[in-house]
Structure 1
Amino acid sequence: IVVPNPDVRGRQEILELYLHDKPLSDDVDVKAIARGTPGFNGADLANLVNIAAIKAAVEGANKLTASQLEHAKDRILMGTERKTMFLSEESKKLTAYHESGHAIVAFNTEGAHPIHKATIMPRGSALGMVTQLPSDDETSISKKQLLARLDVCMGGRVAEELIFGQDHVTTGARSDLQTATELAKYMVSNCGMSDAIGPVNIKERPSSEMQSRIDAEVVKLLREAYDRVTTLLKK
């Protein structure tokens, strides 16, 4: 049995359950937190409240504040800040341009999710990141939205190439390219979003001929996204 993630009303009810015995400051809007946590499941929301409560205890606060809950959400979405990590000025500059590429593409591409936060503070295994959140709960995703995701994935790599030159692009885009490639495969093989392959959902291992056609369509989608983003960032 697959249990879907709660919708905004469900998230609000779960948050109210976990927050009912905790004093809240006047700036806490549980409904707004529920709207701002699409895709969170019950465990995520419990973790959010727990992280916020720990931060409040560390700060000596007797009430949970909106900023503490926002800190908890960012930690779940983006990972733990690594404030003590040393980065050279060159690394900071490269990371800033890389993340700016993602942000500019997200801001200027129809169908892309709104930007939640952009940072060059190292978090988790990343030196920086741009996080996006949908405006509403998603029940289905259009081809336009998936193409927008491809474009956003390409934003960092293209920005590096335009600013520093093709020979100076870094491995920083590795995970972006992996995400984009998996997404393109999903579009072609599972969602019927390739004119050349047609409206099919390929679950079994395809023939070598079909696999070659799928691979060609995946590369085509990725190259087209790269070209669109290059045109956008050159403006």
Structure 2
Amino acid sequence: MVGLFYFISKRAGSSGGGGGLLGNPGRNQAKKIISKKRFSDVAGQKEVKEEIEEVVDFLKNPKKYKVAGARIPKGILLGGPPGTGKTLLAKATAGEAGVPFYFISASNFVEMFAGVGAKRVREMFREARKAAPAILFIDELDAVGRKRGSSLSGNDEREQTLNQILVEMDGMEENTGLLIIAATNRPDVLDPALQRPGRFDRTITVNIPDIKERELILELHAKGKRIAKDVDFANIAKRTTGYSGAQLENVINEATLLSVREKTGVITLAQIDEAIDRVMAGPAKKHRVITEEEKRMVAYHEAGHAVIGLKVAAAEQVQKITIIPRGQAGGYTLMTPKKETYNFRKSELEAKIISYMGGRAAEQIMYGSGEVSTGAHNDIQRATNIARAMVTQYGMSILGPIAYEQAQGSQFLGPEQRSKDYSDALAERIDEAIRDLVTTAEQKAIATIKKHKKLLDLISDELMEKETIVIEEIEYINKYLKRPPKRAKAKKIDDTKSLKDIISEVKSKNEEN
């Protein structure tokens, strides 16, 4: 029994990192890191960096602020979608300030043993105070910082850990020279006591980068790589609307891997386009067996979306069309806003619904209403969601400017559920209003595509031959109503040739010229 108890305690210590049952399970779990990152390694997020630079200056020159009677913010809370650079900003802050950087995930606090989390918090703050000035970074704060009282048990280990964090951040003991930075994707679920002044004095939202910031991020990650001359990062930024910084970095990395695989020597525009598709929907299923008839139907479906984007004034701009299967999709049409805005007009939302119904409308025109496919299921779902939001949240229907539903959940990860504030009698009218918006949009899509059927056929024929077409080819077809000339393929480098052979070939060509 003694041997078995010793074995179990050693296993618990090796898995939890706390020394086992016979050791010290509450020891500090934070890792001390000397950061080499700088603000120059963070592209975009200009306003966020300006807020943090003030804190860095305080850590470097504390006397200047003490003379003025100012105090350093005790905590900075970074909230935003995943992949926007919250952890990178914290590392850059530590690197610019030149102070020790302690990193820990909030999930490391919570264990199965009662009181362990609270003890780990005390040990962590005690060690960080000794190294002050220093930065303490807590990642995924919502793992331990959720609102108290949400658990059925009154003696919840997570709540004890949260209480200890609150006391350590603003209790009897001073945190002179210690800056706490935390990151979370769910600031809406945090306990109000965490976000009050004195604990997290500043709440900074790290948003998805806009078009200018995306261009800067792409250029930053392209440094040191051989890029073809025809690659324009401004145009690539237009095609990557809604991408986070991590996704943009992944686009450049995937394009680099493709250039090595295809032996092109430089990263071409076609490889970057393929990388964007890979990040969005995964690798292409080039060996998937698909009949010619199904391929033609997919081409008409995607061409229908494109015709709406080209001929409806308030619709988004068509950037790319492909009928190569990726993931669960048989193809897709990439459409981006002509101007990035934070508010949408009613006409723009209606144009979005018409665009989503364009694929199904093209199928009805070409094959009849009784032969439509299941390929529009995702389009119908998105159109219905926009129509429901217009009726129940935005007041853009005959039911008037009244909020019938309220989204509950994170603004960054999407609403978890919707609270309904209406009677059963009104629910029927809401359903009718949603149905009217979607069916009217479908009728407009059918009318628009019938009017421009020649354009539909040309785009479909181009897709059948090339499988993927981009904005330049789409605009050419729309302008001249004929298919564009064939584009040249990138030349591959024969890496089996030696440098001497290449030089001799160049000399012989020069002599011939």
- Partner Cα distance (1:33, 1:130) in 2: 16
Residue matched to 1:158: 361
Q: 1:122 aligns with which of 325, 330, 348?
A: 325
Residue matched to 1:199: 401
1:4 to partner: Cα distance:
1.6
Question: Tell me, what secondary structure is at the counterpart of 2:208?
Answer: coil
- Could you tell me whether the CA contact under 8 Å between 1:102 and 1:152 is conserved in 2? yes
- Could you tell me whether the CA contact under 8 Å between 1:35 and 1:136 is conserved in 2? no
Question: Tell me, what secondary structure is at the counterpart of 1:31?
Answer: helix
Please tell me whether Structure 1 or Structure 2 has the larger radius of gyration of its CA atoms: 2
Question: Tell me, what secondary structure is at the counterpart of 1:132?
Answer: strand
1:58 to partner: Cα distance:
0.9
Residue matched to 2:212: 9
| Cα offsets for 1:202-228 (capped at 9, x unmatched) | 313132223222111100101111121
Verify: 1:223 aligned to 2:426, yes or no.
Answer: no
Aligned residue identity for 1:134: P
- Partner Cα distance (1:156, 1:32) in 2: 26
1:172 to partner: Cα distance:
1.5
Using the TM superposition, name which of 171-180 and 21-30 deviates more.
21-30
- Partner Cα distance (2:249, 2:367) in 1: 43
| Percent identical residues | 36
Residue matched to 1:104: 307
Task: Tell me how large the CA RMSD over aligned residues is.
Answer: 1.9
Question: Tell me, what secondary structure is at the counterpart of 1:161?
Answer: helix
Aligned residue identity for 1:227: Q
Aligned residue identity for 2:420: R
Which ranges of structure 2 fall in alignment gaps of 5 or more residues? 1-78, 81-205, 407-418, 452-513
Matches within 5 A, 1:30-45: 30-45=233-248
Aligned residue identity for 1:89: E
- Partner Cα distance (2:382, 2:234) in 1: 32
Using the TM superposition, name which of 79-88 and 63-72 deviates more.
63-72
- Partner Cα distance (1:169, 1:63) in 2: 43
Aligned residue identity for 1:185: R
Verify: 1:233 aligned to 2:435, yes or no.
Answer: no
Aligned residue identity for 2:241: P
Verify: 1:57 aligned to 2:260, yes or no.
Answer: yes
Aligned residue identity for 1:232: T
Using the TM superposition, name which of 104-113 and 15-24 deviates more.
15-24
Using the TM superposition, name which of 154-163 and 47-56 deviates more.
154-163
- Could you tell me whether the CA contact under 8 Å between 1:38 and 1:136 is conserved in 2? no
| Cα offsets for 1:83-135 (capped at 9, x unmatched) | 11111122122212222222212211111111111222222211122111123
Residue matched to 1:186: 389
Tell me the TM-score normalised to structure 2 length.
0.43
Aligned residue identity for 1:210: L
Residue matched to 2:430: 214
Which ranges of structure 1 fall in alignment gaps of 5 or more residues? none
Q: 1:135 to 1:75 in 2, by over 3 A?
A: farther
Aligned residue identity for 2:427: Q
Q: Which has the higher strand share?
A: 2
- Partner Cα distance (1:107, 1:30) in 2: 23
Using the TM superposition, name which of 169-178 and 196-205 deviates more.
196-205
1:56 to partner: Cα distance:
1.3
Residue matched to 1:141: 344
- Partner Cα distance (1:126, 1:224) in 2: 26
Residue matched to 2:3: none
